[in-house]
């Protein structure tokens, strides 16, 4: 099945690293801890966080996590 990425909402286009960073943010890990766990630099983690905030149009981390649970990007 071909999917036209132009018709998929931006938030559904999280890459694997963004999704993993989102999960670890929701678990309360710091950027340094996330970087250590995923072998990413602090700059990469912060760039993924900024990308997540932009894609969800969330103003802060709390709003990002609320959005992610509400729209099924994170599970309880």
pTM of the model: 0.82
Task: Please report, rounded to a whole number, the percentage of residues in the chain having pLDDT higher than 70.
Answer: 84
CATH architecture entry for 14-70: Orthogonal Bundle (1.10)
Buried b (16+ CB within 10 A) or exposed e, 33-67: ebbeeeebeeebbeebbebbbebbebeeeeebbeb
Would you list the domain boundaries of the chain?
Answer: 14-70
The string of pLDDT tens digits covering residues 41-69 is 999 999 999 999 998 888 999 999 998 88
């Amino acid at each position: 099945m071909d999917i036209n990425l132009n018709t998929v909402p931006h938030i559904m286009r999280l890459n694997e690293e963004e999704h993993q960073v989102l999960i670890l943010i929701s678990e309360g890990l710091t950027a340094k801890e996330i970087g250590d766990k995923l072998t990413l630099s602090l700059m990469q983690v912060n760039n993924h966080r900024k990308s997540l905030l932009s894609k969800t149009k969330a103003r802060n981390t709390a709003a990002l996590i609320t959005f992610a649970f509400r729209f099924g990007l994170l599970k309880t």
